[in-house]
Structure formats: C-alpha cells, structure tokens
A and B are shown apart, each in its own frame.
Chain A
Amino acid sequence: MNDIQTNIMEEDNTQEGRFLIFSIDNENYGIEIRYVTEIIGIQTITEVPELPEYVRGIINLRGKIIPVMDVRLRFRKKAMEYNDRTCIIVVEVLGMSVGLIVDSVSEVVTINESDISELPQMKQVSQNHYVKNIGKIGNEMRLLLDCEKLLTDEDIDNLNEIL
C-alpha cells in the first residue's frame, strides 16, 4: 500500500504532499494542492433551480461559468451567512471546475507521508466518508478530503433523501 502511494506521489513531486488548509466551524480540513486552481473571495451567486441544497448555484469567473458548492451544507452543518472571510476555492477535478465555499482559508502546508495516517476504522463510516486520511502537523490534526468523492458521491445523498 505504501509503495503504491509513493509511486503516485513521485509523479508530481513539486506538489507532492502539499495541502491547502481551510476551516469550517472549528475544524481544519486539507485538500491536495494539485486540485486547486485558485482561491477567490465570495461572489454574487446565481441560483439555479432544482439542485441539491449544497449546490448554491453558478458564478461568473472571468467569463467562465462554474458551479459552487457550499462545503458546510455538503457536510450537513448549519448554513452560515457569508462574510468577508468566506472564500471560494476553485478546484478542478475529473475535468470539471467547481467552486467550494468554505469559512476561511488559512495556509498551504507540506505534510510528510509518515505523518499521514489512515482513518480509524469505525462502524459508522458515513459521517466522515469524504475524509480520506488524517494528517498531523505537530500536535494538530488535519482532515484530508477526498476531492473526487466530494463531487461525485451522490449515492449517500440519494439514500438520505429517500429516508
């Protein structure tokens, strides 16, 4: 397992092990920097009807129209008024550009592979299934997100909608 991971990491070594850290509530999350295109302040969002609640709508990013997703709502936390610390992280995943609305963005850190550990196996995994790994920086923990799952995983939502 570790071998495979090293191989993947070696392919793009400049961005290897680097994560963008953002916060929602008091929690700090990290996403791999290679997904991130840019970070912008909150913008006017045009609502598009009949979408899941966490997809807030679309924004105009210099002529390119991209959808924005409120990560708070995606994580089933309470909605919060956007303020001047609110950021949109534009990521490109699987060829799609999507904006992620987060409370604030703090820093870019390098996390050594040895400091990244698997999630503890719990029975009730649905709570953290967007979280891929846990990274340690000193004594602090960062939840490292799985970007692809964040965008593509709808099965759980559908299930919840039915329930």
Chain B
Amino acid sequence: MQFGILFLLLSCIVLLDGGNMKDFNTNDAMVDMFLFETYQLLEQLEQVILSSEGNCCYSREDINEVFRIMHTIKGSSAMMMYNGISALAHAIEDLFSYIRKENPEKFFSASLNDLIFDCIDFVKIELEKISNHDKADGNSDELVNRIQSYLSGLKKNGFNMPDENTDKKTANFFKAVIYFEDGCEMENIRAFAIINNLEKIAYELKYYPQDIIDNDGSVETIRRDGFQVFIRTDKTRDEINDCLMQTVFIKGLELTSIDEKAFSDDYNNISDADTSLEAATEEQYFEELDNQEVDRLPSHEKSLYEDGQKHQSKEHLHVLPTQSIISVSVAKLDKLMDLVGEMVIAEAMVLQNPDLEGLELNNFNKAASQLSKLTSEIQDIVMSVRMVPLSATFQRMNRIVRDMCRKLDKEVNLEIVGEETEVDKNIIERITDPLMHLVRNAVDHGIEPADERLAAGKPKFGKITLEAKNVGNDVHIIVRDDGKGLDREKILGKARENNLLPMNEADLTDSEVYKLIMMPGFSTRDNVTEFSGRGVGMDVVAKNIESIGGSISIDSEKGKGTQITLKIPLTLAIIDGMNLQVGKSTFTIPTITIQESFRPKGNGLITDPDGNEMIMVRGQCYPIIRLHKLYNLKTDVTDLTSGIITMVSQDGKTVCIFSDRLLGQQQVVVKSLPEYLKRFKKVNGISGCTLLGDGSISLILDIASLINSK
C-alpha cells in the first residue's frame, strides 16, 4: 500500500511536469493543483477499473472508490467552472451511487468498464487542454447520455446476479447497535474485531462509521451513537446475539430484525447523511472538543472560529494518509541535482588545486577522502530521489492491451515482470511513447487471431511479456510476444519495394534484416489499422530510444514470437567519461563506448585516394576521425603516430577518434548545450557539455552521430 501511494505520487509528479512548465508563467496555483489532483484521481480510477476487470467483479471497495473519486472530481471541477467534466463526473457518480445502493453481488460489466474508460479519456483530453491554456470546451453530453441510459437500463433490468434469489430467501436482516463500556478506549479497534467475527457468519455487512481503522475520529462517533452494524445472514437472531456478546467491554446491544429494504435504506440514510462525509463527524468532533473555548466567544466570532476549525479538520483529513511522503516539484529536484553536480566539481577543484602540489598534507588528505566519500554518497541519494519505478508506465500498457484486444477481437494476456525497476524520471518520460508503440505492434502484428493460434497448436490466449531488469549501468526493457514472429522474406521484399535495401540481401544477418523495420516508412502490414501499419512507428521508436542514449535489438523466430529489447542508460545526468585533449579544447567520450586506446604505429595506417584515413587493427580496418580536422581546431599534434587513437563503437559500428592525448577518466555531470546555441543548426557530434575539475568546459561527443556521419 505504501508503495502504491509512493508510486502514485511519483507518477503524478511526472505527469505534472509537463503542465507545470507551461503554467509556470501564469503561476496559477489553483489550476495546477486541480490538474495534479485530477490526474492522480484518474490514474487511481483506471487502476480500480482494471483490477476489477482482472477479478471479473466489482468489490464493494471498488464501487466506493469510484464513487468517491467521481465525487471529488465533480466538486473540484465544478469549483473551477469546468462544466463538461463536472457534468460527466456527476453522471458517473449517480450511476455508482445507484450501484452502491443496490450493492449487487458479483456485479460486473465489461461495457460499463468501456464506458468509464471513455469518460476517463474525455476528462484527460480536457485536462490536457487546460494545461495548455486552451479552453476546456469538450462536450460531455453524449457520454452523459450514455451513462444515463446505462443507469436506466440497470434500473429496469436489474443486475445480473447469479445466486441472488436463493440467497435472499433464506437471508435474515439485522441491525445491531453496539455500545462499549465507558473508558474502555480504542473503541474503533474493538469495533473492527466485531466486524472480523461477523464476517465469518454473514453474507454481507455494512457498518457505520465505515472508516473505523483509518480515522481516529470514529472513536468519538462510536462513543456517542454506538457502533451500527447491518447484517445479512442465514443465521438466526440468537446466533448473532451470541456472536456479538462474545466481545469484551460491551455495555449494551440493540439487535433488531429488519427487512431487506430497511437493510439498504437505513444504511444509506446514515451514510448519505454522512456522505458529506467523515468531514461532518470530524467537525462535530472538533466542535465538541472546543466547545468550552468557543462558548466564551461572542456569537459572530464563534461562527468564524468554527469555519477555521472546519477548514483545519479537513486539512487534517487530507494529510493523514500520506504523512511520510511529500511531493516535490521536479524543478526543485533538477536544481538540487545541478547543485550536487557543482559540488562534485568544486570538490575536485579544491582537492586537485595546483597550490597543493608538492605539499605533505597528511591530515588534509584524510579530511579530503572523508569529504569525497560524503559527496559521492550525496550524489547517490540525489540520483535515487530522481529514480522512479517503471510500474506506472507498465501499468498504462495494461489499458492499451485491453483496448486493442477488444477492438481487434484478440485475446491477449499481458504479463509484467520487474515493474519495480527504477530509472531516472527524465528517461521514463521519453520511453513511454516508444513502449506504447512496441506493445501495440506486438498485439496488432505479433499475436495472431485465436483460431490461427489454435491451428498452430498454441494456447488460445496470446501472451505479451513486459520485462524490466537492471544489467550493469543499463536497464533492459523487453517486450516479448508469442505471436507469429517476423518474416525475413516479407521484410526483405518490402525493403526491396521501398528501395531501402542497403546492400546485397544475401549478406544480411537475421538481426540486420529485423533492423530494417526501424527504417522510416517501413511497414509490412498490408492494410493500415487504427493502431498500426502506417510505418511511422518503429523509426520513431528507434529515434526516441537513441535520443536518450539507448539502443534496440530485435530477436525473432518465425512462428514462435518476437522479442524486442530496449537498452536504456540508468540516468542521463551523470556518465563515466574519458577526457581527451585536442589543442586547447577538451572533449569527453562516454567510457561505455570505448573499446581501447592506443598510440598507432606507422604501419597499418592507410589513406585512400579521397584522403580518408583508415587504420588496420588486428586484421580489421576502421575509419579515423581527426577531431582537430572535424572541428577546425589548432593543434601541434597532427601526426597520427604522435597522438592517441581511441577506438569507440556503438550499435555494432566502430570508428577511431584521433586526439592529442588522454587526460583521464572521471564521472561527469552532463549538461545540455545552452538554449541559444540550439537556434543554430545542430552541432554535429556533440551531445552536451560538462564542467571539469578546473572549472573549464568539455564538450561531450555523441558517438552515434559521429559514426553515422562517417
């Protein structure tokens, strides 16, 4: 549960970020808060509905939860004058209040779920508009009508309850009001124990106050009004009485038989009076506590005082469940991250200060190593604060798979493994879309229709596995399906058609062939569906993943399925880098890409007629990129044999980078190039910059683009 709250909060922070930046100028805190809350509630709602789908049943908590969420959204959106949303929320609230009242057992309806999802989507679109400062002008009338007609359908035809009738004939209904002895303390816990006992013998239980465990205020209510339990059971009155009287510290018990109607009505009367909610009882509670004080105040001040108290008690309610977690704006975290980066640099400036050279400083060195330890620890913590579990992103895929299955009439189970794996918040934002594409592809292209699957001897239900795991400094995210797999011939044929074939097709390995599907404009799907087939998917995926320094590999076996692996760096903010010097400039290469560094000997250097230089290493020929030539820098080191060659590779391609000398390896904090420079054409081969120990700036080389430009 703790974890659930945490991840909800975090996912909301993620969600907020987009809106937040845009709203930054208007500074409209109210709108921000509204968006934040509503997004959070919608996410919660989606989870509830999805879980009900898993169980094929709405539990009582589910229904209450939906009701509660809609109630809140209705209130806040009405307050913000977003009438479309509030009307919709109101309709859903009505529907669920009816369901709650009827409280059918094992009620479940896929069409209702669809309806709710449509509503969620509608509200999301509206929220998007609001966060973009557009007018939230969507018309919810149609959805409202659908909900109302659904509701009237329910009222007319009743719920589909399997055993309902037989159940109800034998059922007895009781209302019990239990009073505890004065001063026995912890009335709410005792009440809970009663409920626990009764659950064993009752079909159905309703009780008031409902929130006996979470809300300490319920103690007061129980002391004052007694603890009220509504029971539906096949046991007799005496048996119930016996059961209840086992409880210790009972002062009085009123046990009355009631009929079915009274059973639901009575309860609803209480809880409706109370729907305006626990707040009311809380207020009473506070008022009572403060009565003596308040009495001394003149009457007009008294009402003011009460207002204040009400306000306070409501806040009190809000704060309680999430006490141990606070949400922090991403901007602040970024700032903190920056500062820690600064600190790491400043530390290097102090510890490697040229003034210290040649001095015997035993104590200083001891203190220095202590400091280094602390800073690296702080760095780790700050990094971990920015880490967000993938679960929110993965859970979203549930919804996509579900929607697609319904539309495409396929049956697919989505299995999620390792959703607790954490990656940097920035990365999460950027992999959501690619992941969505991949999952869609898997459902649409991968998994066959049920009859084909049965014919191929596979289980009727297709299976898609979404897996995340830590591998060294990377996170691997794997999307695996057990569908029909990729068809080498079909891909080659399509590539031929579109003139995408790079070279002799017989020479291509399977994985190279599969890589073709990531070329722009490639789709083997013959007809375009709503979900995929336009051939804009995979190349966008590839581009997005590359932009965060990740890579994609595809494995497939015809008839068995496809596995797509995304390799993604844990974080973008700090990398291990090797610093090179060229003339007066410094460059940094991500260590991860480096194969080896060496000083070339005269033999093995080749220059082709166009002036392209190459070097032969262990029988393989690699192109050489001279940084000073590429970037027009002045340096004295132009002879290949007097400089250093660093061999780097990415995505299976390798080049050799020539520089004056190596400066050494260190962790560097990646900073993006200033906004202003991005106005000019993209600087080729440079992905960002970083600060070195002496305060100077080093440019980080983007190996992938260097290789591709070669």
CB within 8 Å of B: which residues of A? 44, 46-52, 55, 58-60, 62-63, 65-67, 95-98, 151-152, 154
Docked Cα-Cα span, A52 to B677, in Å, equals 10
Name A58's contact: one of B342, B345, B681, B697 (CB within 8 Å). B697
CB distance from A117 to the nearest CB of B (A): 31
For this complex, 22 residue pairs linking A to B, each with C-beta atoms less than 8 Å apart, are A47-B585, A47-B631, A47-B633, A48-B673, A49-B683, A50-B680, A50-B684, A51-B677, A58-B674, A60-B691, A60-B695, A63-B338, A63-B345, A65-B673, A66-B674, A66-B676, A67-B676, A67-B677, A96-B675, A96-B676, A97-B676, A151-B676
Cβ of A49 and Cβ of B631 under 8 Å apart?
yes
Docked Cα-Cα span, A44 to B698, in Å, equals 12
Docked Cα-Cα span, A11 to B363, in Å, equals 57
Cβ of B697 and Cβ of A59 under 8 Å apart?
yes
Cβ of B697 and Cβ of A46 under 8 Å apart?
yes
CB distance from B628 to the nearest CB of A (A): 10
Name B677's contact: one of A44, A58, A63, A152 (CB within 8 Å). A58
Which chain B positions have C-beta within 8 A of A51?
677, 680, 683
CB within 8 Å of A: which residues of B? 338-339, 341-342, 345, 585-586, 630-633, 671, 673-677, 679-681, 683-684, 686, 689, 691, 695-699
Which chain B positions have C-beta within 8 A of A55?
676-677, 680
Which chain A positions have C-beta within 8 A of B338?
63
Docked Cα-Cα span, A146 to B439, in Å, equals 51
**Smallest Cβ-Cβ distance to B698: which chain A residue:** A46
**A60-B697 contact, Cβ under 8 Å, with A50-B681, A96-B675:** yes
**A46-B345 contact, Cβ under 8 Å, with A52-B680, A58-B674:** no
**Smallest Cβ-Cβ distance to B683: which chain A residue:** A50
CB distance from B147 to the nearest CB of A (A): 44
**A95-B697 contact, Cβ under 8 Å, with A50-B683, A52-B680:** no
Docked Cα-Cα span, A60 to B339, in Å, equals 14
**Smallest Cβ-Cβ distance to B697: which chain A residue:** A46
Docked Cα-Cα span, A59 to B699, in Å, equals 12
**A46-B585 contact, Cβ under 8 Å, with A65-B671, A97-B674:** yes
Which chain B positions have C-beta within 8 A of A65?
671, 673-674, 689, 691, 697
Taking A51-B683, A63-B339 as known contacts, 12 extra A-B pairs with beta carbons closer than 8 A to each other, sorted by chain A number, are: A48-B677, A49-B630, A49-B632, A49-B684, A50-B681, A50-B684, A51-B677, A58-B677, A58-B697, A60-B691, A65-B674, A66-B674
**Residue among A51, A60, A62, A98 with max Cβ neighbours from chain B (10 Å):** A60
**What 8 pairs across the A-B complex have the smallest Cβ distances?**
A49-B631, A46-B697, A63-B342, A67-B674, A96-B676, A96-B675, A67-B676, A50-B683
Docked Cα-Cα span, A82 to B192, in Å, equals 80
Which chain B positions have C-beta within 8 A of A48?
673, 677, 683, 686, 699
Docked Cα-Cα span, A98 to B674, in Å, equals 9
**Smallest Cβ-Cβ distance to A69: which chain B residue:** B676
Docked Cα-Cα span, A94 to B195, in Å, equals 63
**Smallest Cβ-Cβ distance to A44: which chain B residue:** B696
CB distance from A88 to the nearest CB of B (A): 14
Docked Cα-Cα span, A50 to B15, in Å, equals 36
Which chain B positions have C-beta within 8 A of A98?
674, 676
**Smallest Cβ-Cβ distance to B631: which chain A residue:** A49
Docked Cα-Cα span, A154 to B677, in Å, equals 12
**Residue among B630, B675, B683 with max Cβ neighbours from chain A (10 Å):** B675
Docked Cα-Cα span, A151 to B681, in Å, equals 15
Docked Cα-Cα span, A92 to B699, in Å, equals 23
CB distance from A149 to the nearest CB of B (A): 13
Docked Cα-Cα span, A154 to B673, in Å, equals 19
**A154-B679 contact, Cβ under 8 Å, with A44-B696, A46-B699, A58-B697:** yes
**Residue among B586, B691, B698 with max Cβ neighbours from chain A (10 Å):** B691
CB distance from A74 to the nearest CB of B (A): 13
Docked Cα-Cα span, A94 to B116, in Å, equals 43
**Smallest Cβ-Cβ distance to B694: which chain A residue:** A44
Docked Cα-Cα span, A152 to B678, in Å, equals 12
CB distance from B493 to the nearest CB of A (A): 41
Name B696's contact: one of A46, A50, A96 (CB within 8 Å). A46
Which chain B positions have C-beta within 8 A of A67?
674, 676-677
**Smallest Cβ-Cβ distance to B627: which chain A residue:** A49
CB distance from B629 to the nearest CB of A (A): 11
CB distance from B282 to the nearest CB of A (A): 46
Docked Cα-Cα span, A50 to B673, in Å, equals 13
Docked Cα-Cα span, A61 to B87, in Å, equals 53
Which chain A positions have C-beta within 8 A of B699?
46, 48
Which chain B positions have C-beta within 8 A of A66?
674, 676
Which chain A positions have C-beta within 8 A of B341?
63
Docked Cα-Cα span, A60 to B694, in Å, equals 11
Cβ of A58 and Cβ of B686 under 8 Å apart?
no
CB distance from A15 to the nearest CB of B (A): 20
Which chain B positions have C-beta within 8 A of A154?
679
CB distance from A123 to the nearest CB of B (A): 30
**Smallest Cβ-Cβ distance to B669: which chain A residue:** A63
Which chain B positions have C-beta within 8 A of A46?
585-586, 689, 696-699
Docked Cα-Cα span, A152 to B679, in Å, equals 9
**Smallest Cβ-Cβ distance to B696: which chain A residue:** A44
Docked Cα-Cα span, A48 to B586, in Å, equals 11
CB distance from B694 to the nearest CB of A (A): 9
